[in-house]
Chain A
Amino acid sequence: MFKTDRYIINIGPQHPSTHGGLHVEAVMDGEEVVDVMVHLGYVHRSVEKIAESRTYPQFIPYAARLDYMATNLPAWGYVGAVEKLTGVAVPERAQYIRVIMGELSRIASHMMFVGSLAIDLAATTGLLYCLRDRERIMDMFEMTSGQRLLSAYMRIGGVSHDLPEEFFPAIRSFLADVPRMLDEYNGLITGNEILQARCSGIGVLDPETAIAYGVTGPNLRASGIGYDLRRADLYGFYDRFDFEVAVAQKGDCLARLLVRLEEIQQSAKIIGQALEQMPEGEILGKVPKVLKPEKGREVYHRIESAKGELGYYLVSDGTEKPARLHVRAPSFINLMVLPVISRGGKLQDIIANIATLDPVLGESDR
């Protein structure tokens, strides 16, 4: 007697969420989501083509602009790839400084994750707490590299400046405050009844699907697979630090939140150990004036970025500019699983799913 029809609700690309230009079309059958179509490319800046007309050092600021929530991590990945390609050695002190800056970036990214999850679910106050705490990390980046957000601090062979005097009291007081910050987030955001109702049991990603779709990072670890590149594909002295890999079992939105909160704690632990172990010494290794890797050499270097496996595929043609640079962006791959976890849910769950998959559109569109 009655006929129902499906209709499409458009979300984005201009949308009040801080994930940038993500365009999602939800095919609805009443209240239930039947399918989700994801459209990317609204922030496509032709970075891979630009890389072919930049020398190897000139690309470092572009690497930082890929994942702008945690800028030291993609920059570290890129310089690591070039160092693998050319054989440049990095001094010990520089490696420790890279670990400290990389883990600070990871904490900044996860804090922004918690804040933007809160505001996406209409809990605006949560964002203000996270922004306030993140400002301290921005201060530390400004102390060391001169730039708050897009600090191009990494260099091929090391880092650009040594840590200044005022950095150490700042980071020690920040690390001492991390437990208090996490208590605040848990009390205000995680423990909140509404957030629990909107995240618990929502957007469940099972481990086999996650691996088949190439999902990595906290999203994979929230589905019970403890795959962390800081252990599985060693780089940056991570074998010298005692830390746990955060894993949750349920694979729902709440699990993805809890994994990242735990990672903030573990990153703070790593930074504390790095500060103790760091020796005196050089901060930049011996690098030739013009870097010309051997023709035909190629490398695929991957690191554990805040979003997952961030890989750089570099091919050299013997000149000072790469023949090909491809960025394996975790956000691009992770978003593939959005339709899978949203089908059968409600429209508002799509928002929670996007927020907890934590895409950064600068990286996914490059």
Chain B
Amino acid sequence: MADNDSEATSNQILNAMEGRVQAYPDPHFLGLRIEPADLPGLLLYLRDQAGMNYLANLTATDLKEEFELTYHLYAIPDNGLKMAVKTRVPRDGAQVPSVITLYPTADWQEREVFDLMGIRFIGHPNLVRVLLPDEYEGHPLRKDFKKEG
């Protein structure tokens, strides 16, 4: 992937999103940072205008003061671009719009983030735990999770 290509693409995206998205440096990915409310709009643009039709990975990290969600996007067939979209939410009442209508693969991946990290996804039709029992209390991947016993 030539640096010119990714820079050109990056500028295109920044223009299209009218300043709501910022680029961040990353050695391997075209990094984009956005607010949670604008996330579906950005992913819609990336899927339909930039050809990024494959959401490979959707995950969250506990940064102690807040949570950070990361979305890794590629294109099938491969077009040489790889993008990482990040968004941050505060710890209390952490919630993000679901992207399941854009990428059906987000279904269980969002359920897993809800199950283990406790972030709610607004608009997900079936936001229940996927790996832990339904009656389990707590979200183990949080840094302040204490195991009983």
Beta-carbon nearest neighbor of B84 in chain A: A300
Tell whether, in the assembled complex, residue B57 and residue A311 are in contact, meaning their CB atoms are under 8 Å apart. yes
Point out the residues of chain B lying under 8 angstroms from A84, CB to CB: 28
Tell whether, in the assembled complex, residue A336 and residue B107 are in contact, meaning their CB atoms are under 8 Å apart. yes
Task: Compute how far the CA of A227 lies from the CA of B53 in the bound complex, rounded to whole angstroms.
Answer: 13
Tell whether, in the assembled complex, residue A328 and residue B57 are in contact, meaning their CB atoms are under 8 Å apart. yes
Minimum C-beta distance from B137 to chain A (A)? 15
Point out the residues of chain B lying under 8 angstroms from A309, CB to CB: 56
Interface: B131 (CB within 8 A) = yes
Interface: A6 (CB within 8 A) = no
Point out the residues of chain A lying under 8 angstroms from B112, CB to CB: 332
Residues 215 to 233 of chain A near chain B (Cβ within 8 Å): 220, 225-227, 232-233
Tell whether, in the assembled complex, residue B133 and residue A300 are in contact, meaning their CB atoms are under 8 Å apart. no
Task: Compute how far the CA of A225 lies from the CA of B54 in the bound complex, rounded to whole angstroms.
Answer: 13
Point out the residues of chain A lying under 8 angstroms from B82, CB to CB: 233
Interface: B6 (CB within 8 A) = no
Q: Which of A40, A46, A299 contacts B140 (CB 8 A)?
A: A46
Minimum C-beta distance from A364 to chain B (A)? 9
Instruction: Given the known inter-chain contacts A41-B131, A227-B76, A311-B72, please indicate yes or no for A213 contacting B104, CB distance below 8 A.
Output: yes
- One digit per residue, 1 when the CB lies within 8 angstroms of any chain B CB and 0 when it does not, for chain A 105-145 equals 00000000000000000000000000000000000000000
Beta-carbon nearest neighbor of B47 in chain A: A212
Interface: A211 (CB within 8 A) = yes
Tell whether, in the assembled complex, residue A44 and residue B28 are in contact, meaning their CB atoms are under 8 Å apart. no
- In which size bucket is the chain B interface? 20 to 34
Point out the residues of chain B lying under 8 angstroms from A332, CB to CB: 108, 112
Tell whether, in the assembled complex, residue B76 and residue A211 are in contact, meaning their CB atoms are under 8 Å apart. yes
**How many residues on A have C-beta within 8 angstroms of the other chain's C-beta atoms?**
33
Tell whether, in the assembled complex, residue B108 and residue A336 are in contact, meaning their CB atoms are under 8 Å apart. yes
- One digit per residue, 1 when the CB lies within 8 angstroms of any chain A CB and 0 when it does not, for chain B 62-96 equals 10000000101000111000101000000000000
Tell whether, in the assembled complex, residue A49 and residue B140 are in contact, meaning their CB atoms are under 8 Å apart. yes
Minimum C-beta distance from A35 to chain B (A)? 12
Interface: B46 (CB within 8 A) = no
A residues near B, CB below 8 A?
40-41, 44, 46, 48-49, 84, 211-214, 220, 225-227, 232-233, 299-300, 302, 309, 311, 313, 315, 323-324, 326, 328, 332-333, 336, 365-366
B residues near A, CB below 8 A?
28-29, 53-57, 59, 61-62, 70, 72, 76-78, 82, 84, 103-105, 107-109, 112, 116, 129-133, 140-141
